[in-house]
Structure 1
Amino acid sequence: MGWLTMSRFHMGGHKTAKDYLDAQFTYSREADGTIKGLKVLASSCPQNRTYYAAAQVMIDGVGKEVFAIVCKVMWNPKSKSGEHFGYKDMDESVGPYEDSCPRHILDLLTPTDREHALDWRARCRANLARRSRKIEDGDRIKLAQALTFSDGHVGDEFIVVKRGRRLSFRDPATRCGYAISRFMERDWTILPVTKVHKTIFA
């Protein structure tokens, strides 16, 4: 399915992208004497960029399989064109590129044998594991792939500068500071630091 866009005044009274999509994916319809539908069990739409939901198939009021719905989201309440909200929906069976689904949603999904869905779930779990890694101020890290920065510098080793939750990075040789986008989702290792002990003479 392609993108569907609309004015925020046409969102059925829903104030956020998450609320609107929750309502869209929770429904029931009668066909041939059977009531079929979906029920959103849990959802998340961080920063109004990507919507993730665990949706349960409902048949005659009985819950069946639970699968993931993923929507790319466009949210611009100040749009002068009137296209304040838009979304493009898909489910996990197509193997979405977006793979930052929260753990509490993944944990609700029932087993599947669909190859693309299994790959997507594995990528989401791997991203969660990366983001949970511990890193401290002063750690020396090495990226799996070197990065090229706007000043022309190319590097793969940096010293971590941590101030609360904020991370920045300093080149060990030049001492210049750099920002690395989506750092916790990248492949990197912490390098051991050789500690020099003071020699005490009697």
Structure 2
Amino acid sequence: MGWLTMPFASMGGHPTAKAYLDDQFTYTREVDGGSKGLRVLASSCPQNRTYYAATQVMTNGVGGEIFAIVCKVHWCPGSKTGEQFGYKDMEESMGPCEDDCPQSILDLLTPTNNEHAQDWRRRCRARLERRSRKIEDGDRIRLETPLKFVDGHTGSEFIVEKRGRRVSFRDPETCQRYRITGFRDLAWQLVPVTKVHKTIFA
């Protein structure tokens, strides 16, 4: 589907994209001999950019298949045409490029034979696994693909420097420090190094 855009006034009083889309994807419709609908069991909208939801098919009030809905979200408060909020919705069976779905939502989904949905779930779990990798101060890492920085330097190996929550990367040859945007999503591995520990005298 394409983008659906609207002014904030058309969001039915819902203050966030998550609240509005939860409402849109939870509904019941009367059909011959009963009712059909959807129910959002859990949802998330990280950084108000992409909405992910575990959505259950409801038939006559009974829950069935649980699949994922993914929506790209657009915010433009200053729009002169009134297109202040917009979204583009997709089902996981369409194989969305967006693959930052939280673990809690993935765990609710029922098994599927759809290849596009299976591939999307694998990509989401692979991304979660990459982000869960731990690094410590002093670790040496090697990037699968070298990065080029604004100062002209290109490098693939760096020493990790952690100062609280702040993480920077020092080139082992030049000692120059760099910030690597999106580091958790990059392909990298630890390089074995010998760490020298301080000697403590009794």
In structure 2, what is the equivalent of residue 18 of structure 1?
Answer: 18
Question: Is contact 1:40–1:55 with CA below 8 Å preserved after alignment?
Answer: yes
Q: Which amino acid aligns with 2:14?
A: H
1: CA distance, partners of 2:137 / 2:23: 44
Superimposed CA distance per residue, residues 130-172 of structure 1 (whole angstroms, 9 cap, x where no aligned partner): 1111111121100011111222211111111222222221111
In structure 2, what is the equivalent of residue 116 of structure 1?
Answer: 116
1: CA distance, partners of 2:118 / 2:29: 29
The 1:82/1:196 distance shift into structure 2, 3 A limit, reads same
SS in 2 for 1:137: coil
The 1:89/1:161 distance shift into structure 2, 3 A limit, reads same
In structure 1, what is the equivalent of residue 178 of structure 2?
Answer: 178
1: CA distance, partners of 2:3 / 2:167: 35
In structure 1, what is the equivalent of residue 55 of structure 2?
Answer: 55
Q: Which runs of 5+ in 1 are unaligned?
A: none
After TM superposition, the score normalised by the length of structure 1 is 0.93
Q: Which amino acid aligns with 2:174?
A: T
SS in 1 for 2:130: helix
2: CA distance, partners of 1:84 / 1:176: 43
SS in 2 for 1:120: helix
User: Which shows bigger deviation, 79-88 or 49-58?
Assistant: 79-88
1: CA distance, partners of 2:67 / 2:30: 21
In structure 1, what is the equivalent of residue 169 of structure 2?
Answer: 169
1: CA distance, partners of 2:186 / 2:47: 20
Question: Is contact 1:99–1:124 with CA below 8 Å preserved after alignment?
Answer: yes
After TM superposition, the score normalised by the length of structure 2 is 0.93
SS in 2 for 1:66: strand
2: CA distance, partners of 1:196 / 1:28: 65
1: CA distance, partners of 2:56 / 2:197: 60
The 1:178/1:7 distance shift into structure 2, 3 A limit, reads same
In structure 1, what is the equivalent of residue 131 of structure 2?
Answer: 131
In structure 2, what is the equivalent of residue 40 of structure 1?
Answer: 40
Superimposed CA distance per residue, residues 24-73 of structure 1 (whole angstroms, 9 cap, x where no aligned partner): 00011112222000000000001101000000000000000000000111
The alignment's C-alpha RMSD in Å is 1.6
Question: Is contact 1:17–1:75 with CA below 8 Å preserved after alignment?
Answer: no
In structure 2, what is the equivalent of residue 105 of structure 1?
Answer: 105
SS in 1 for 2:190: strand
2: CA distance, partners of 1:163 / 1:129: 24
In structure 1, what is the equivalent of residue 92 of structure 2?
Answer: 92
Poorly superposed stretches of 4+, deviation over 6 Å = none
2: CA distance, partners of 1:54 / 1:160: 37
In structure 1, what is the equivalent of residue 83 of structure 2?
Answer: 83
Q: Which amino acid aligns with 2:88?
A: K
The 1:80/1:172 distance shift into structure 2, 3 A limit, reads farther
Superimposed CA distance per residue, residues 93-131 of structure 1 (whole angstroms, 9 cap, x where no aligned partner): 011111110000000000000001001101111111111
In structure 2, what is the equivalent of residue 194 of structure 1?
Answer: 194
SS in 2 for 1:110: coil
How many pairs are equivalent? 198
